[in-house]
Amino acid sequence: MTVTDLADRAVDLGRLSVSDDEFAQRVRSWLEENLTGEFAHLRGRGGPGSEHEFFTERLAWDRHLAAAGWTCLGWPTEFGGRNATIAQRIVFHTEYARAQAPARVNHLGEELLGPTLIAFGTDAQRERFLPGIADVTQLWSQGYSEPGAGSDLANVATTARLEDGRWVINGQKIWTSLAHVAQWVFVLCRVERGSSRHKGLGFLLVPLDQPGVTVRPIQQLTGTSEFNEVFFDDAVTDADLIVGEPGDGWRVAMGLLEFERGVSTLGQQVGFARELDRVVAMARENGTADDPRIRERIVRSRIGLRAMRAHARRTLAEVDTGGAGGQASVSKLLWANWHRDLGELAMAVQGAPGLVAPDATTEGVANDITTPERVELGEWQRLFLFSRADTIYGGSNEVQRTIIAERVLGLPREARP
């Protein structure tokens, strides 16, 4: 399939010109009709800390969505998208979360790299990679963080040099989500010798299946391994697989991060609300809801969720008019800390029984991503442990506060080496 084929398909599907209510009903009806049969058991499966669950089946579900035209909604029609409005995309993600449809496996390609290629890539790059993202035949991972450059992304040390028409890459990436199941990785690295910080960077598209790449899963506190270390030892990619000009990688990388904090966050909040409702139900069932300290934490969670949703809607409206600034960092702080606190609340409601892992075998959970042998945790234990990472990945709390101080509040820039 080519970009032209995708565009033809998008035209056939038509622009989403119906009202938001009609569109919501269309999404709701399709999910009700299709989350059945072979896909019925996928409801509520996958997601952070549970990426090992039913991966093969969830990949098939993503491809089923693509065939029906429910992927890449916000992409322009000329690149195979539906040119959906912000409101319609919010509706889709909200209805998707309400239906407890399974976590998507193509988020990095569809929501991050695809829009980045549309904004910054060449025609040849779009023609080569957008169709595989749209029909979910090509999975991507993100090569940003390094052992010495986590939240401080400008400190990356991985290098790439041009040699005989190819980029030759050396270095290490860490916390590389889903690299063990992806075919490609987008890599931020230094392409100008002697450069430092934001200057001299390149944004490369690199195949993972080659002798110069080693992917090593990292076992997390949850026992799963959706993050990885990736080592590049004279790995190569074609000279034309750099997005933007050499040295312009920082601008491209930051553009991608803006796409990362898009409308899917509102669907995420529907999932958060469902988690909170179940924690409240558990508190009522075991009597901890009678504890005034627990009740106060529940009320604070309800208020926090409402504030988070209101801020997300306001931020998305500003993004649509090009004026978001550092507001995405405010959103990241709000949801990351709220979710971490929910994990702590869930454990407080469980009490002492939450300290004991359930049976090591969990009926019905298919683990078809290779992970180390582990004890299967309960839902709330997994939430508590994995949500510790919420305040780190995607930019730590400390980095987000610095961005807010400088870009939102206009305070003097922090001293840097």
Q: Of the listed 260, 296, 344, 406, which one is catalytic?
A: 260
List CB contacts of 347: < 8 A, sequence separation 6 or more.
354, 380, 381, 384
Comparing CA positions, the residue from 251, 215, 250, 256 lying closest to residue 235 is 215
Structure tokens belonging to residue 39: 């896909």
Q: Say whether 57 is catalytic.
A: no
Choose among 342, 334, 348, 351: nearest CA to 394: 334
Amino acid at 45: R
In angstroms, the CA 124 to CA 135 distance is 18
Q: What would the two tokens of residue 94 be?
A: 């909200």
Q: Are 33 and 98 in contact (CB under 8 A)?
A: no
CB atoms within 10 A of CB 293: 9
What is the DSSP pairing of strand 140-143 with strand 159-163? unpaired
Residues marked active site are found at 260
